[in-house]
Amino acid sequence: MHESIPDIPTRERSGAFWVKFGGAQAACAVGGLVATGVALQLALDGRGVPAPAWPYGGALLAAFCALIALAARLSRAGGLLLALSEVPVTLACFGALGALGAVAGTLPQHPPAEPSLAAKLGAHAVTTSWPFVLTLLLLLTNLGIALLRRIFPWRAGSARFALGHLGLWLALAAGTFGSGDIERVRLEVREGAATVHGVAPDGTPVEMPFGLRLLDFRLEEYPPALTYLDTENGAMLWQKGDPRLEVVPGASGAWKHLRVEVEEVVPRAVATPEGGYAAGVNPDAPSAARLTVADTVSGKTERGWVVGGAAETLPKSLVVGRVAVTLAKPRPKSFLSQVTLFTPDGASRDATIEVNAPASVAGWRVYQLGYDDKRGPGSDLSTFEAVRDPWLPAVYAGIFLLIAGAAGMILGGSKALFAEKEETR
């Protein structure tokens, strides 16, 4: 049965239903909380929990911390507040969050076109719905009181308990109460131009505290691959998982009943009067390739040019039976922007921004987002996303504590984790 830990005050575990607070009572309490959340969802006509911005988010967090500290102090007398800090509540919350998370992981998480009961209940925005947020707050309360009880007074095992638990509490609390302060702004700049203006996700224009000039945008692409279309209805016949032949000179391969050889590849192709293609200078022009395609069923062989569709060059395919062979749009291999960043104090510096390598300026991080993908390598437009998250240091501190706790688990194993439990057996 449940054994109490020495030197931690315990509760009376017999008596009426709510006095003996175990798994069943925790499940009822969390179930009631989720039901309250559902009722709020319906009463507010499907509006989820608003994310408070600074200073309200910070004030709410401060009040929340004060309540947790008070509850931890009062829990010394035992009773329901002590029960609030115990593992049954943790497990009930995990169960509820798991169930709500399964909904979030299964249904698309964006508003559906038609209003529906599911949408009203928050099934398409689970993580901002009332049931989810209320359960998360209960989990934070549970963990917060448990933490305070385990580290005041400091004793053997406190450090090990604190690493993972404090880490998770910090990351969760900062992530939750700080979510209203995250700003994401989209910036679009053409080569040679500069901007201080961006657009928020809801479409409102935003003036940034920094300026950005695009010096150069560069895109490198993979060689184009062959694709296959149905000549009768234009449907794409090539499917994910089929062999993919990259068009480089000398390449050969098979797809279904066709054998393809690539004889010649011309980048930035322009049509020649003789009916062939030659390399030009226009970066917007697609590649052309001369192929031999053999149909192994009918025994027919076709030779000719294929060209990917792009500005100022007509697409061209090679037809073999019912199949048109042509070039698919090449995939981007890498793209980067060379920029000058202007800071509010009048200074400026050059930076290279690419995917996975954002630049930091004036409290913002600027990410490479995209480019004009109709033009591909010829794009002179680069789009960026500037992100500001003032709570990030707290979240990161939490994540790094969690990492330290995880390393401790890998090296300490279950004996260390459950040490006190073994002693009390």
Which residues of this protein are in contact with other proteins, per CB under 8 A? 1-3, 87-88, 90-91, 94-95, 97-98, 101-102, 104-110, 126-127, 164, 175, 182, 184, 220, 222, 240-241, 331-335, 354-358, 365, 367, 385, 387, 389, 392, 395-396, 399, 402-403, 405-415, 417-418, 421, 425
Residue found under tokens 């009332």: 130
Task: Kindly tell me which of 139 and 251 has the beta carbon lying closer to ligand HEM.
Answer: 139
* 376 interacts with, out of other proteins, ligand HEM, none, CB within 5 to 8 A per kind: none
**Angstrom distance (rounded) from CA 76 to CA 10:** 8
CB 160 to other proteins: min, Å: 12
Single-letter amino acid, residue 339: V
Total residues binding ligand HEM (CB under 6 A) = 17
The one among 33, 92, 146, 320 contacting ligand HEM by CB under 6 A: 146
Task: Kindly tell me which of 39 and 403 has the beta carbon lying closer to ligand HEM.
Answer: 403
CB 80 to ligand HEM: min, Å: 15
Kindly write out the interface string for residues 337-366 of this chain, putting x where it contacts ligand HEM by CB under 6 A and - elsewhere.
------------------------------
The one among 46, 164, 175, 376 contacting ligand HEM by CB under 6 A: 164
Site for ligand HEM in 68-97 (CB under 6 A): 85-87, 90
The one among 41, 129, 142, 313 contacting ligand HEM by CB under 6 A: 142
Task: Kindly tell me which of 257 and 331 has the beta carbon lying closer to other proteins.
Answer: 331
**Angstrom distance (rounded) from CA 319 to CA 322:** 7
Q: Which stretch binds ligand HEM (CB under 6 A): 145-153, 181-189, 234-242, 365-373?
A: 145-153
Nearest residue (beta carbon) to ligand HEM: 164
Task: Kindly tell me which of 280 and 408 has the beta carbon lying closer to other proteins.
Answer: 408
11 binds ligand HEM (CB under 6 A): no
CB 3 to ligand HEM: min, Å: 10
Tokens (6 digits) for 275: 């009916």
Task: Kindly tell me which of 106 and 348 has the beta carbon lying closer to other proteins.
Answer: 106
Task: Kindly tell me which of 110 and 425 has the beta carbon lying closer to ligand HEM.
Answer: 425
* 248 interacts with, out of ligand HEM, other proteins, none, CB within 5 to 8 A per kind: none
225 binds ligand HEM (CB under 6 A): no
Strands of the sheet with 301-307, listed across from one edge: 252-255, 258-266, 288-295, 301-307
* 285 interacts with, out of other proteins, ligand HEM, none, CB within 5 to 8 A per kind: none
List contacts with ligand HEM (CB under 6 A): 5, 85-87, 90, 139, 142-143, 146, 149-150, 164-165, 168, 405, 417, 420
